[in-house]
């Protein structure tokens, strides 16, 4: 699935659906982590596919889910693009 479609699907999903969707991509997130990440979905930019994800956004994700889980999420992102 294209990364932007994945993000749009996450936005439209309930927390439980988002958890299952992430799990189908090998990303284990708790409901608490999903709730912490959800507001950040609106900050994601298509331009990042070309310019890379800004460090400020990476820091926000790591604050939301922790350093280790943040690194896992960005590795998964890189695998998807």
Q: Is the pLDDT of residue 1 over 60?
A: no
In the prediction, which pLDDT does 81 show? 65
Residue with tokens 């298509």: 46
pTM score, whole prediction: 0.80
Q: Span 38-60, mean pLDDT?
A: 90
In the prediction, which pLDDT does 57 show? 94
Q: Over the chain, what is the mean pLDDT?
A: 87
Q: Is the pLDDT of residue 10 over 60?
A: yes
48: which 2 tokens?
């990042």
What lies within 8 Å, CB to CB, of 29 at 6+ separation is 18, 19, 22, 23, 37, 65, 69
């Amino acid at each position: 699935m294209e990364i932007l479609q994945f993000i749009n699907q996450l936005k439209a999903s309930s927390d439980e659906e988002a958890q299952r969707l992430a799990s189908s991509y090998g990303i284990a997130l708790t409901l608490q982590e999903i709730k912490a990440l959800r507001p950040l979905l609106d900050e994601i930019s298509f331009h990042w596919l070309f310019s890379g994800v800004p460090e400020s956004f990476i820091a926000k994700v790591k604050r939301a889910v922790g350093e280790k889980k943040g690194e896992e999420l960005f590795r998964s992102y890189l695998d998807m693009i």
